[in-house]
Structure 1
């Protein structure tokens, strides 16, 4: 009885969590007349993809460019962040590194005490990162939280492997690339998911630092189209191939396009996620 009740509650919770996504998808591929009359819930009515053809083919909206920018920022930013985090964690996990505890303390200090918006803006402006694609990649390249997880994971790798490699004549680079890197797949996949989601969902950084609209990621495009802080873009009711396209359809399609690509990250990293989190947080 208890198990059946528990399963029912889990199913209900899953439905509550999934319903908004299904509703947005259904609205985006439904006929506008069915949407405006409140007939669309889980399933599309008057199924069509004309709304997606419109939003992706309309350069005035900038959605295609925004998606390209977000994919570029996410892929390049994640690769840079994972590489720098792994190399830094490797160095800090080696007992032969003098002052490693002091260096780690500096990372912790910057994690606990932030400089604030104005000093950060002045520093980034001096470095030439304002209105540059690098602002989405470099400033957040090393997360102290993920650095701690990666360092703890590397600390848990038996030291005998390192000693054997040194005896065989391996140098530091060979040690890093041929021994520790292949063994670190779980934690690398884990921190990669965190970095990718963070960069994809980044809103405040591009809002503050990217004035050039050709550099805006999809989140800013979504903000401009849905929230309309400066009057935004006004949508007209359209009829394409017998299907009505209303502002509700366009907004739903834009929201779905801003959510859907990042969902692909989880299936590839799911099998490593739990192992990487547990080993990286509980050992060391």
Structure 2
């Protein structure tokens, strides 16, 4: 039987309190989005919704002027397509860099590290992107994010840990480099593939600066920019919200903003349950070498 420890009790208590502090804002946002505006004005919404209803969600999803539905669809498209491209390119780049027979692989890796440490800045990036025709193009959400140096290092480290004998056996069986990469190493890389998929999905879904600068066409903007115009920039010419009554339910700007924020947060959280069993293993194997 494990001996009682005050240290463990205090440590676990602090962890629970920190977890509650992290979760409470999401609970409050959800409760506000599901509450009647009268309860929100009265300040009686703390944990559970008061006057439970879905009118705020129906209103923002059905109102084209707000652009929430279009923003969610755009974010979903950028995340799925961009995440797929990023995982594909990252793995195809990491694999040859992990092969000892590749001449100059350390120099190539240093070039990647250089671009990670030293960024050009917004203005040079804009000049380059404009010259490539990426301004006001959905490709600006895909191509610049195709390779993340941090995830490339993790993937390369993971592939370095796989036995070299697998490649030798495949060569003896007559497989070429392309077949070895996809038929031997890719199936064994599910943990790291799941890991970088989650990282890329979260990064692309939460991307704000790039679409705000390069996607001036509102029909292409993701949900992050839509939320910015709705919540922060509403007083400066953004999307304005007013008090309305729908089916006898009073909706305040706070209700609509909370519903929009909750819709923007939930989709990206849903991917974690499906990748959690790979996530820890991929991080450990991809970041520790020795």
Q: Give the TM-score normalised by structure 2.
A: 0.95
The residue that corresponds to 2:284 in the other structure is 278
Unaligned runs of 5+ in 2: none
1:179 counterpart = 2:184: yes
1:24 counterpart = 2:29: yes
1:1-284 maps to which residues of 2 (within 5 A)?
A: 1-2=5-6, 3-228=8-233, 230-283=236-289
Q: Which moved more, 1:233-242 or 1:139-148?
A: 233-242
**8 Å contact kept, 2:230–2:241:** no
Q: CA RMSD in A?
A: 1.1
Q: 3-state DSSP class of the match of 1:244?
A: strand
Partner Cα distance (2:157, 2:242) in 1: 55
Count of aligned pairs between the two proteins? 284
Deviation at 1:179, TM superposition (A): 0.7
Partner Cα distance (1:81, 1:7) in 2: 38
Residue by residue over 1:10-65, the C-alpha shift from the partner in whole angstroms, topping out at 9 and shown as x without a partner, is: 22221111000000000000001001100001100100001000000000000000
Deviation at 1:236, TM superposition (A): 2.2
Q: Give the TM-score normalised by structure 1.
A: 0.97
Partner Cα distance (2:69, 2:277) in 1: 31
Residue by residue over 1:94-134, the C-alpha shift from the partner in whole angstroms, topping out at 9 and shown as x without a partner, is: 11111111111111111111111111111111111110000
